[in-house]
Structure 1
Amino acid sequence: MWQKLTFVCLFFIVHSCYAQQYLFERYTPKDGLVNNRTRFFFQDSRGRLYISTFGGLSVYDGSRFINYTTENGLAASLVNDIVEMGEDSFWIVPNANALHCLVHGTIRNITTADNFYPVINQILRCSDGYLYAISDDGLFRYENNRFARVLTGDSTAIKADHNFLQAVQVDRKLILLNDPYLGAFPHNAALLVYDLDTHKLIISANDQRFYYLVKSPANDILVTTSEGVRVIDKEALKEGSIVTARLPPPYQAANDLHAGYFYFDRSAALWLSTEDGIIKLDTSGEKEVFNVSTGLPPGYTSGIFQDKENNVWFANDRNGIIKIASRQVLHYTQPKPDFTANDLYTDAGSDSLWLYDGARHEILLVKGERQQLFHGLGPLPGKGHIFIGKRSYLVSDNHLFALHFLPGGLFSLSLLHTDTASLEGYGCFDHRGNLVIVTNRMLLWSGGRMLQYPLRAMSDQAGIDKQNRIWTITRSNALTVFGLFPTDTGATLRVLADYLKVLPVMSPRCIAIDNEGRVWVGTRDHGLYCLFFDGLRLLSYKHLTASNGLSENFVNYLQCDPDNTVWACTPGGLDRIRPRNGGFAIDDITHTNDDYQSIYRILPAAKGVHWALVKGGYMKIGSPPVEKNSYQPHLLFSQVLSGNDLVETTDKTLRLPYDHNAIAFSIGVTSFINETETRYSYLLEGSNNLNWSTPSDRSAINLVNLAPGRYTLRVKAQFLTGDYPDLTAAYPFVILPPWWQTWWFRTAAATALAAILLLLIRFYIRRKLLVQRIALENKQAIEKERTRIATDMHDDLGAGLSRIKFLSETIGIKKQQHLPFEEEISGIRRYSHEMIDKMGEIVWALNERNDSLSDLLSYTRSYAAEYLLQAGIRCQVDIPADSPSCFVSGEFRRNVYLTIKEALHNIVKHAQAEQVSIRMTITHPDRTLIITITDDGIGFDPNTIRPFCNGLSNMQRRIGDLGGSLRILREQGTTIELSVPL
């Protein structure tokens, strides 16, 4: 909470005895106000206070000032008027040719239809439904999003229609005031009346200078003039003339006051700002003055304002803004010159206040405005405590004196008792008028006798309950209850209860008992304890400390009123504790008024008044006002910052990107009574912490490193004074996830992942199937190769072996018949050679070392040359010199080789050729093997092919299996061309 400088203003009333001082709070730029030179106040529907200054606009929410200057968008630092247009929407009128709106804490420019803006001093909403602009440039009506000039067409009106400073409306008439310091037609400061119905203008005809206008609660128009405060005659106004008259009661005291500004509060009291200070005239005619000589800060008061809680504020042109902190608390330095009050006494049934000056041996009786001074006779002690009741006493050191008031303003003392210990503890009267004093013993003066009972240690104060039982607690933490019982010899003290070991350790210093039987104990360092009893049986206790609102934890004196209000005096202030809603509300009387002085003792007087002895004087605490204020403050999110960027506090859910996850909230409560006694706590829904924060006076909440998600910040304001119930508010916001954590990305990623998984599964299955197919194909190839090998062996070797077997059997038969068998032996030899050659071909086709194209071409060339040479045919074989060493399968080699072999076999057998040319080429880039076999034989006629001859068909099939083609050309022999892709 902002630190405040307190100024004590001497509140002067016609009084012959002593000066009373009101407590003031002052707010300056040290507290956050934008500028010390202030002009006027405005309070919106939610309770925020707007202060116009010469350096900008300040908005006070009860916790902090939020400031707007030209750096925030104002066209000029001087703001002339503020108009509330809707919820959290305001028109801000600068002293410039411009117009602004303040929406959700952000300044924006208002654009009119014609971009025309007069220099407006005031905007007034009149009963005809229009907004009127009171401006330096004249009177304007706002309609159709433009400012339309009023009072045109009349030459006199045109001359007078400028430099308007202020206006008020009454009875369909607009009372206008020219600026008294700029000069206007027809004289220095003219008063004009504009009729909203007839649109006619009336101009004052006298030479008075007019300064300010105000409308009274009785609907009269008061105006400050150079002669004093006057009222405008309504009857004369109806007749078309402006006539002023002197004020009637109760405000007649203002007739001769020269005020520059005045104001009516809700109680119809008239406040006037003059060069000599501020004067208040209430409806009873009582006059109160606030001026520099009595402590009001210097400077002229240009604005007076009563807020919704009835606090009164002053706008000072030199010292910021000033609030009357408490109208019920008055501070008195000393009642009269050379008199220093060392002690005071009063009681709830009297309006008399007794003050004792031990050094001067004087007692002063104050009753209302009347004082009576008593001088002491004889040798008197230099200090002590006075007790004024049915009998009067003075206690000093270890002596008890009877106090006797004598005629002629004198008093004397008579010694009643001398004790072995100092009687410095605070005493009191019981319900029978007996004087109770505590030291290290319980002492009771009754019937001319001193009754005594020893205590375990030193005690500082005693308390009396409704049953007239006496309670005391020693510094050793021993709580004892005494009763006074009659005996044959008079009376005696008896212990009714003793609580030695059941209390918390609390270093007691004072005690009081309320009407509900609760025992209050003030301590040295541990605050205040409230002990709950059922009769004399201790049930429980409640502990209150500075964290609960006490001015400090050292309580040196307690006083309880009949209404159960407990007053706690501390070395740093005065606290008032009242039962509220099952708990206790603590009102820090002095600290909230920035008064940090020691309070020694407080006693109740009649009519709810309390008198307190303080350092350097005494205080009067009046009874709180009877009228109840229906105002309920608002708990506001005044500012929200995302990083360093201001966020508009709209009702929409705030949505922030993931990298803007640090948010600062400034909250405030629009209550200006005891602002320091408001405690704030918060709960962030959506986080892992489900507990409310510890209440504190910090109204700023900083949230950092928030994870993406949906949140609701709930805040609570608690009023330690109990003036209002707890307030709560909520602010929802969303931290958006990064794009890689969004639902659409996750959906797309999941879809892509599923697709990839499906593709992987498909690839795996296809690969597995491919492997299985390859294995199957390999198996099939092996089976095929086996079948082919078996077929070849059956076809090529089986036939030869059969022939050999047949020839062998033939030889055996011919040998038995003694026939020649050389021919069969030659056949066996020939077939054996053929079988060996075919076996070599089969082995060559199966050998992996021959799986290259060069091996195929070399083997084929060798075979062709050798075979044709054996047949007596010349052979020419051409193969590429740089034939590639590419891989060719055994099937490829075998089919190509057998096709060439078949072709050569046909040439040898049928062509009758003498020469054969074989040409082998490889084409690029299609990599095709082309083998051309040309002979010079008799040619080939396909029509002469014998039925069931399979040679040519086998050649076509072998080349077709390799994806190639076979052509046979008959030109001067036969040309066979086979083309096979590698």
Structure 2
Amino acid sequence: MKARRWVDTNDKMLLKSPILKLLLFSQLIFSGVYASTPYQVVYLKNYRASDGLPGSQVNYLMQDSKGFIWIATDKGVSRFDGQHFKNFTTTDGLESNEAFRIAEDNYHRIFFYCSNYRVCYYENGLIHKLRSTQRVLVQPFANMFFNRYNELCVNYGLETKVYSFAELKSRKHPGQQPFSSIYGASEEEIPLSEHDLTLLKNELGTAHFNDTTAKINTKPYRLAIQQNHLLLITKDWVHVYQYQKSKLIPLAKISFTGNVTSVYLTGKNTFAVTTVKQGTYIINYITGERKNYLNNQITTSTLIDRENNLWFGTYESGIFLSTNPDVKVINKESGLVNENVLKLNIAGGYLFTGHILTGLSYMKLSANKNSPIGTLYLKQNRSDFNRVTSLLPISGNKLMIGTDNGIFGLNVSNNNPLSWQPILYQGGPVKGIVQHRDTIYFLTSQGIVTLPDGTGYEFSPIRVTSLVWQKDQLLVGSLYGLYKLATPISMKHFKYVRILADKGINAVKCLASNGQVCAIGTEDKGVYLLTGKTLSQFTVPVISSGNIRKLIWTDANTLWACTDNGVSIINFSNNYQTYRVSRLNTSNGLPSDNVADVVRHGNDYYIATDQGIAVTQNLWNTNLSRPILLDDGVPGKQSNFMYGKPVVFNCVALSYKSMGKIQYRFRLKDVDKNWAAAPTGEKRFDLLPPGHYELEAVAADRFNQLSRPLVFQFTVMPLWYQQLWLQVIAVTGAIFISFLLIRKYYLSIIGLQKKDYENALALQRERQRISSEVHDDLGASISGIKLQTEMLSRKVTNQPVFKEIDAIHDAITDISTQVRLIIWSLDVENDEVGSLANFIHKQAIKLFDSCDISLQESISVGEATIAISGEKRRQVYLLVKEVLNNIIKHSNAQNAFLAISLYKNRLHISIRDDGRGFVPDVRKHETMGIRNIYARAKRLNADLKIDTAPGKGASISLKLNL
């Protein structure tokens, strides 16, 4: 065991000396400090070097104004936030790794007194050393703090030693201060008169305390102030005075003997006495109440933080945290043979606890909370698998005990536990026990057995888990659902039906009834409450977990749900329509989150866990402190970040009761709709667009309490090419260049359109010229030749010669017709739909004049001028002519119908007859005429439809977009 280096006024007395080692050894074998003080066993969370502390030897504990816990050890100092230890050593600037005292000044700087008699301080994340070479002397029994003037003070003996350094920025005293002024850590100040000093010295003298004993540290003493109380502190007693009207009035003297290491003020009207191997005693010097914690440890420092948690520093075991000292714990230290408690119940005024392998433990419930604990072993067939599965008290001060190897009865009416003899009623595993009227029902793996008659009712294998009577109905839970037994139960083989399967109740682990409603605990869906025909559900986050181990009604309106994440207490009102929920877990003082059972005795609630039994009277978390969320960055840290650089913020939430189970939530204001959860307080952005932002952060503790929001305001600065003025210039330039390019493009388009217009105009003129010349020259010549052949045919009487001349005449007539068609198609004056319709009409009349087919026409193109090119006119005409010729030559029709219409620039030509018709698919490939019709329609990009069948005529429809 490493000794601490304390110094005396001569800088010679070290704890490492042989004399003091002998003194320490004598303290280790000394008896307890207070034989009459009851020892308080509470749940203590232990943090050691393996958990992040720089060392397990703790010299001092302190909480700063922000809420951080500071720990001085022999290997450095540490700042603890409930989750992480932030350690500082000589590498970080600490004067020495062994620090003895910590104090906060009025500027919220944290000062450390180290083993080299030097002081350094923490500010803005860094350790700073003082420029002064002056040594500071803090004796082992002394206390170090800052007064209202920001002077470093050390209370020892009957005076306050004041140190001033330039870095302290101490304020001037308002006037001449008495030499004997005593200061306190909370800005208190008491000027001691000569009469007061005489009073204190006389008190010390009667116990042989004087300046010499203080200097050599054999009988040290000091003064301390708490509000208007002055405390004269020694290792044997504390004398409390009230400072009133400039004089001291004695109030009380609290004495103690034994192995005291130090005495510290811990809170309002309380101080703590740390000892060797007797733990820490917390004493209220007004009421005289004393409590002892952490027995069998060498305690060095004690702290009560602002959440009312208890912190204990030890010489070799690190620090211990008690989040709720009001919750007492029964464990091995209390005499419990096995801390893994599976079942609880009360019979004959005794609390019985069921375990695995070790049977039952029992303790008398009386006003004396420290009754001895006894153990009762059950004779079972298998010693390797003998859990206690059920405890049920019945009338006559009897206890029914269910185990993995059978059901036992225990008569506890005799108040002598040594005379108790468990009786085995039946072997085999027992899943649960209930009593209904005078009959006991216990559940086995294969069915239900009743006592005292021993009748059994077999089940099919459904993996039963629990049973309960609910309004004269026996319900059985299994891993395959919830079953109701048909009543009355009078046969060996009986009926049972599954219920509530349609409500999602599948794997049932436990059942509990208060006579009015039934609670159903499931494997993963929480608790269902069956109230009449109404079914309601409670699961995460309303309760601690969805996996329910056991349900207990401690009264008609209070239901306990035991889980592996603590126990949830649901208190109902308004006929089970409203409720409130409270949670108990290690953050409330339970020794473990793994809760197995609960039983009530008066105002006390006994809670079974795998680390012992918790005893409490407070079920409601009404005074829990909300987490405190702090910016953990350096003050004055940059709030402007260049685009592309990572943006990182750090915050820390202080909630020591949550024991590290903190959830952080972040969102960018006016950007994110939902909060993003994170396990740590670091938030990082890698590529935020330039702009001004507000990052909101909150912290949720283990009880889903939210901290006040913390807002980080920051700006992401654009790069040079992202600057607004540059972007404006770039956009303006781009618009101007685009304007020039578009202007050039449109000018080129206009030029092309002008050129196309000129070409079209020239083409039109050329067509007009060709049409005129063909009409005037070629047309006249052909007409002359035609006239000459007609005259010649009249003069010739030779029949063969006449036929040849007549053939020449017909050929010339065809040529004349083609020439007229060419002239018509070339003439730009005919480039409109009306001209096309009129031309088709005239040609159709000529075609049908020489045949017996009657032609009926319907032409409706309106008076509007709709343009159509010459080539399209020609192709349309030739297509129509081909169709009309086919009707004349092949249809054997009596009537033909021609319809031409125009609707919204869409030309529709319909031709039909009442002739013999044809097979269109065959004719399409066999005749040139049909092929020509399809070819011309394709050239026109028109819709062509031929509807015909043998003996049903033919109909041809042509639709052309103009």
TM-score, normalised relative to structure 1: 0.55
The equivalent of 2:606 in structure 1 is: 610
SS of equivalent to 1:425: strand
Find the partner of 1:710 among 685, 688, 692: 692
Find the partner of 1:60 among 65, 80, 83: 80
Q: Mean Cα displacement is larger for which, 736-745 or 261-270?
A: 261-270
Q: 2 CA distance for matches of 1:434 and 1:19?
A: 44
Q: Is the 8 A contact 2:39 2:293 kept in 1?
A: no
SS of equivalent to 2:44: strand
Q: 2 CA distance for matches of 1:365 and 1:29?
A: 37
Which residue type is aligned with residue 604 of structure 2?
G
Q: 1 CA distance for matches of 2:263 and 2:684?
A: 44
TM-score, normalised relative to structure 2: 0.56
Residues 483 and 677 (structure 1 numbering): CA distance in 2 closer, same or farther, change over 3 Å?
Answer: farther
Alignment map for 1:863-882 (pairs within 5 Å): none
The equivalent of 2:666 in structure 1 is: 682
Which residue type is aligned with residue 321 of structure 1?
I
SS of equivalent to 2:667: strand
The equivalent of 1:85 in structure 2 is: 106
SS of equivalent to 1:745: helix
Deviation at 1:673, TM superposition (A): 0.6
Q: Is the 8 A contact 2:468 2:513 kept in 1?
A: yes
Q: 2 CA distance for matches of 1:361 and 1:148?
A: 69
Alignment map for 1:91-170 (pairs within 5 Å): 92=111, 95=114, 105=125, 119=136, 124=145, 126=147, 131=151, 133-134=153-154, 139-140=162-163
Deviation at 1:656, TM superposition (A): 1.1
The equivalent of 2:720 in structure 1 is: 739
The equivalent of 1:189 in structure 2 is: 214
Which residue type is aligned with residue 692 of structure 1?
W
Q: Is the 8 A contact 1:718 1:727 kept in 2?
A: no
Q: Does 1:389 align with 2:394?
A: yes
The equivalent of 2:653 in structure 1 is: 669
Q: Mean Cα displacement is larger for which, 301-310 or 725-734?
A: 725-734
Alignment map for 1:66-81 (pairs within 5 Å): 66-72=86-92, 74=94, 78=99, 80-81=101-102
Q: 2 CA distance for matches of 1:735 and 1:631?
A: 36
Q: Is the 8 A contact 2:228 2:242 kept in 1?
A: no
Q: 2 CA distance for matches of 1:443 and 1:356?
A: 22
The equivalent of 2:239 in structure 1 is: 231
Q: Does 1:209 align with 2:219?
A: yes
Deviation at 1:480, TM superposition (A): 3.1
Find the partner of 1:221 among 231, 239, 254: 231
Deviation at 1:390, TM superposition (A): 1.6
Residues 143 and 68 (structure 1 numbering): CA distance in 2 closer, same or farther, change over 3 Å?
Answer: closer
Residues 21 and 503 (structure 1 numbering): CA distance in 2 closer, same or farther, change over 3 Å?
Answer: same
The equivalent of 1:519 in structure 2 is: 519
Find the partner of 1:654 among 623, 639, 647: 639
Find the partner of 1:729 among 710, 719, 742: 710
Deviation at 1:633, TM superposition (A): 2.9
SS of equivalent to 1:314: strand
Q: Is the 8 A contact 2:646 2:684 kept in 1?
A: no
Deviation at 1:98, TM superposition (A): 8.2
SS of equivalent to 1:706: coil
SS of equivalent to 2:700: strand
Deviation at 1:275, TM superposition (A): 2.5
Q: Is the 8 A contact 1:549 1:720 kept in 2?
A: no
Find the partner of 1:692 among 675, 680, 696: 675
SS of equivalent to 1:667: strand
Alignment map for 1:830-869 (pairs within 5 Å): none
Deviation at 1:609, TM superposition (A): 1.9
Q: 2 CA distance for matches of 1:414 and 1:380?
A: 14
How big is each residue's C-alpha offset from its partner over 1:840-861, in whole Å with a ceiling of 9 and x where there is no partner? xxxxxxxxxxxxxxxxxxxxxx
SS of equivalent to 2:603: helix
Q: Does 1:460 align with 2:470?
A: no
How big is each residue's C-alpha offset from its partner over 1:533-574, in whole Å with a ceiling of 9 and x where there is no partner? 4523445x45449x9864xx865444344363524255xx75
The equivalent of 1:263 in structure 2 is: 264
Q: 2 CA distance for matches of 1:97 and 1:358?
A: 56
Q: Is the 8 A contact 1:85 1:91 kept in 2?
A: no
Which residue type is aligned with residue 430 of structure 2?
E
Deviation at 1:272, TM superposition (A): 0.8
Deviation at 1:610, TM superposition (A): 1.2
The equivalent of 1:172 in structure 2 is: 191
Find the partner of 1:44 among 42, 60, 64: 64
The equivalent of 1:974 in structure 2 is: none
Deviation at 1:425, TM superposition (A): 0.5
Q: Is the 8 A contact 2:511 2:551 kept in 1?
A: yes
Residue-pair matches, total: 676
Q: Mean Cα displacement is larger for which, 576-585 or 529-538?
A: 576-585
Residues 27 and 673 (structure 1 numbering): CA distance in 2 closer, same or farther, change over 3 Å?
Answer: same
Deviation at 1:308, TM superposition (A): 1.0
How big is each residue's C-alpha offset from its partner over 1:217-251, in whole Å with a ceiling of 9 and x where there is no partner? 771413124xx1242777999899xx9x9963xx4
Alignment map for 1:588-667 (pairs within 5 Å): 588-589=585-586, 595=592, 601-612=597-608, 614=610, 618-624=612-618, 629=623, 631-639=625-633, 648-649=634-635, 654-663=639-648, 665-667=649-651
Q: 1 CA distance for matches of 2:373 and 2:136?
A: 62
Residues 516 and 673 (structure 1 numbering): CA distance in 2 closer, same or farther, change over 3 Å?
Answer: farther
The equivalent of 2:301 in structure 1 is: 303
Q: Is the 8 A contact 1:120 1:133 kept in 2?
A: no
Q: 1 CA distance for matches of 2:438 and 2:228?
A: 53
How big is each residue's C-alpha offset from its partner over 1:630-676, in whole Å with a ceiling of 9 and x where there is no partner? 7433122324xxxxxxxx255x882112242242x443321101324
Deviation at 1:479, TM superposition (A): 1.3
The equivalent of 2:866 in structure 1 is: none
Q: 2 CA distance for matches of 1:451 and 1:236?
A: 81
How big is each residue's C-alpha offset from its partner over 1:958-982, in whole Å with a ceiling of 9 and x where there is no partner? xxxxxxxxxxxxxxxxxxxxxxxxx
Which residue type is aligned with residue 162 of structure 2?
L
Q: Is the 8 A contact 1:445 1:451 kept in 2?
A: yes
Deviation at 1:48, TM superposition (A): 2.4
SS of equivalent to 2:280: strand
The equivalent of 2:478 in structure 1 is: 474
Q: 1 CA distance for matches of 2:136 and 2:613?
A: 50
SS of equivalent to 1:747: helix
Q: 1 CA distance for matches of 2:78 and 2:336?
A: 44
Q: Is the 8 A contact 1:48 1:59 kept in 2?
A: yes
Q: Does 1:438 align with 2:422?
A: no
> What is the RMSD computed on CA atoms of the aligned residues?
5.9
Q: 2 CA distance for matches of 1:379 and 1:50?
A: 53
Seq. identity, %: 13
Which residue type is aligned with residue 654 of structure 2?
T
Q: Does 1:559 align with 2:578?
A: no
Q: Is the 8 A contact 1:132 1:139 kept in 2?
A: yes
Deviation at 1:463, TM superposition (A): 4.5
SS of equivalent to 1:222: strand
Q: 1 CA distance for matches of 2:33 and 2:112?
A: 40
The equivalent of 1:529 in structure 2 is: 526
The equivalent of 2:275 in structure 1 is: 274
Please say which structure displays the higher CA radius of gyration.
1
Q: 1 CA distance for matches of 2:280 and 2:312?
A: 12
SS of equivalent to 1:273: strand
How big is each residue's C-alpha offset from its partner over 1:805-853, in whole Å with a ceiling of 9 and x where there is no partner? xxxxxxxxxxxxxxxxxxxxxxxxxxxxxxxxxxxxxxxxxxxxxxxxx
How big is each residue's C-alpha offset from its partner over 1:467-521, in whole Å with a ceiling of 9 and x where there is no partner? 5765432111x21356988x9x99x99979822343255x433334589957342
Q: Is the 8 A contact 1:442 1:454 kept in 2?
A: yes
How big is each residue's C-alpha offset from its partner over 1:864-921, in whole Å with a ceiling of 9 and x where there is no partner? xxxxxxxxxxxxxxxxxxxxxxxxxxxxxxxxxxxxxxxxxxxxxxxxxxxxxxxxxx
Q: Does 1:508 align with 2:503?
A: no
SS of equivalent to 1:426: strand
Q: Is the 8 A contact 1:47 1:670 kept in 2?
A: yes
**Structure 1 portions without partners, runs of 5+:** 1-10, 179-183, 192-206, 640-647, 769-982
The equivalent of 1:404 in structure 2 is: 411
Deviation at 1:119, TM superposition (A): 3.6
Alignment map for 1:19-34 (pairs within 5 Å): 21-34=41-54
SS of equivalent to 2:82: coil
Q: Is the 8 A contact 1:361 1:375 kept in 2?
A: yes
Q: Is the 8 A contact 2:432 2:466 kept in 1?
A: yes
